[in-house]
Amino acid sequence: MSEIQKKPVKIMETILRDAHQSLIATRMTTEQMLPIIDKMDKVGYHAVECWGGATFDASLRFLKEDPWERLRKLRDGFKNTKLQMLFRGQNILGYRPYADDVVEYFVQKSVANGIDIIRIFDCLNDLRNLQTAVTAANKENAHAQVALSYTLGDAYTLEYWTEKAKQIEQMGANSICIKDMAGLLLPYKATELVKALKETVKIPIDLHTHYTSGVASMTYMKAVEAGVDIIDTAMSPFALGTSQPATEVMVETFRGTEYDTGYDQNLLAEIADYFRPIRDEALDSGLLNPKNMGVDIKTLLYQVPGGMLSNLTSQLKEQHAEDKFYEVLEEVPRVRKDLGEPPLVTPSSQIVGTQAVFNVIMGERYKMVTKETKGILSGEYGATVKPFDPEVVKKCIGDKEPITCRPADLIDNELETLESEMAKYKEQDEDVLSYALFPQVATDFFKYREAQKTKVDAKMADTQNGAYPV
């Protein structure tokens, strides 16, 4: 038998970021991560995603941890593995567009503290919102990966995706990620899409999906056969459901084929054993909702990502209108169409979802309009692939002239102002960036950090749990 021509698929491990973000609301602590890093570093992963996304906000807000400190500790532990983060383009890790000087400084500091690969996306796929971050990553010699938010709709043809891919390559990106946040990419569609992209660009293609609709493992298999370079997976205790397919399963699937990763299953089993008690604890405490582990094929009908579904349920509960759930689900695609058919991912998913709730509860469409809906219609988030419904524009913003330039062009440099506002709390350069993204949450954290210094009595320290009584 002739020798198989080897082209091992690369694996990007999500357990330290997207997996716990998707399943347990980003509550894994740095202390829980550190003991297993040594073993994870031996696997041979293409990269480990461990920062960005919601980890920054959750660290400060719920865990009272400095996200920068986490990154430095992870960097110290991972001697052989590249570290990756998720970055929301001009919104960085926050929910509004920031001035270019803040974006550039954030990229610079992320790389200085240990990030190798920055995955940059925009909720509208408006590439103007990505250019500053890509240029900054190139300048710092980091790997700039641009993610296309994958979605369905008349406008999203193969030509749309290949055209975007060409522009991304020209922007100076080092690779492209197909970011399928709602699990909408079906296996045979993946074959088509990956082949088309591979014929269009020379840079590597990474595929990221979620198991929400139940097709993700099959989608990965077809994508790998079609030539995708990298797939994103999660260690089995935090895989499936609204997270990614399981790392060990994909490694086993390709064993003995030309795509064989060569990873050691015994080593992976030890890593899984480490994370299992953390998952069980999350189940017992109610942090991990068993509902998030099932398959929901409705995702494909309404294109609503898992996180957005739970948001809608809680909004309806607050309004005592749970009986309106299906009406809202049917309203979501209509609102999405009115607003230029954007992909549904943070923050566009929240904007469309909340507006759909209002439209149904008020009994009249756009009787009550959120400031974010007005923002999209005013061009404050960038350009959508399709035009807005003119009637809706008239009803929501009247004759206001929408902006057509890149939204950040209208924002003056803001680093100096931010520096002066938070000067009294500053202990490290990075603090100004924490403050820029989450002013209130960061200020609370800085006060907490200060209090910790003065009130810890070493004799009373609970060394068992690593917690200090204040």
pLDDT, tens digit, for every residue of 62-87? 999 999 999 999 999 999 999 999 99
Averaged pLDDT for residues 213-229:
97
Residues in Cβ contact with 12 at an 8 Å cutoff, skipping those fewer than 6 apart:
45, 46, 47, 48, 49, 84, 206, 208, 230, 231, 232, 233
283 & 169 share domain: yes
- Please give the residue range of the domain that contains residue 365: 303-403
Average pLDDT over the chain, rounded to an integer: 94
Q: What is the pLDDT of residue 290?
A: 86
- The Cα 172–Cα 84 span in angstroms is 18
pLDDT, tens digit, for every residue of 354-367? 999 999 999 999 99
193 & 234 share domain: yes
Residue 333 maps to which CATH number?
1.10.472.90
442 within a domain of the structure (yes/no):
no
- The SS3 call for residue 146 is strand
Q: Which two tokens stand for residue 355?
A: 């507006």
190 within a domain of the structure (yes/no):
yes
- The SS3 call for residue 355 is helix
Contact between 241 and 294 under an 8 Å Cβ cutoff? The reply is yes
The number of distinct structural domains making up the chain is: 2
pLDDT class for 315, splitting at 50, 70, 90?
Answer: confident
129 & 271 share domain: yes
Averaged pLDDT for residues 370-386:
96
Question: Using only C-alpha atoms, what is the Rg of the chain?
Answer: 22
Last residue of one domain, picked from the residues 377, 403, 429: 403
Contact between 332 and 350 under an 8 Å Cβ cutoff? The reply is no
Q: What is the pLDDT of residue 467?
A: 45
pTM: 0.93
- The Cα 101–Cα 98 span in angstroms is 8
170 & 40 share domain: yes
DSSP 389: P
81 & 197 share domain: yes
325 & 239 share domain: no
206 within a domain of the structure (yes/no):
yes
283 & 367 share domain: no
158 & 57 share domain: yes
Residue 26 maps to which CATH number?
3.20.20.70
277 & 314 share domain: no
295 within a domain of the structure (yes/no):
no
Last residue of one domain, picked from the residues 403, 424, 444: 403
Question: For the purposes of burial, counting CB atoms within 10 Å of the CB of 462, is it exposed (0-12), middle (13-18) or buried (19 or more)?
Answer: exposed
232 within a domain of the structure (yes/no):
yes
> How far apart are the two ends of the chain, measured CA to CA in Å?
69
Question: For the purposes of burial, counting CB atoms within 10 Å of the CB of 369, is it exposed (0-12), middle (13-18) or buried (19 or more)?
Answer: middle
270 & 322 share domain: no
Please give the full DSSP string across 48-111, using - where no structure is assigned: EEEEETTHHHHHHHTS---HHHHHHHHHHH-SSS-EEEEE-GGGTTSSS---HHHHHHHHHHHH
51 within a domain of the structure (yes/no):
yes
Among 177-186, 345-354, 419-428, the least confident range: 345-354
Q: Beta strand 205-209 with 230-233: parallel, antiparallel or unpaired?
A: parallel
pLDDT, tens digit, for every residue of 240-277? 999 999 999 999 999 999 999 999 999 999 999 999 99
Q: What is the pLDDT of residue 470?
A: 34
pLDDT class for 120, splitting at 50, 70, 90?
Answer: very high
Residue 448 is inside which H or E element, if any? helix 439-455
pLDDT, tens digit, for every residue of 152-209? 999 999 999 999 999 999 999 999 999 999 999 999 999 999 999 999 999 999 999 9
Question: Given the structure tokens 């103007």, which residue do they identify?
Answer: 128
Q: What is the distance of C-alpha 23 from the center of its chain?
A: 13
- The Cα 294–Cα 298 span in angstroms is 12
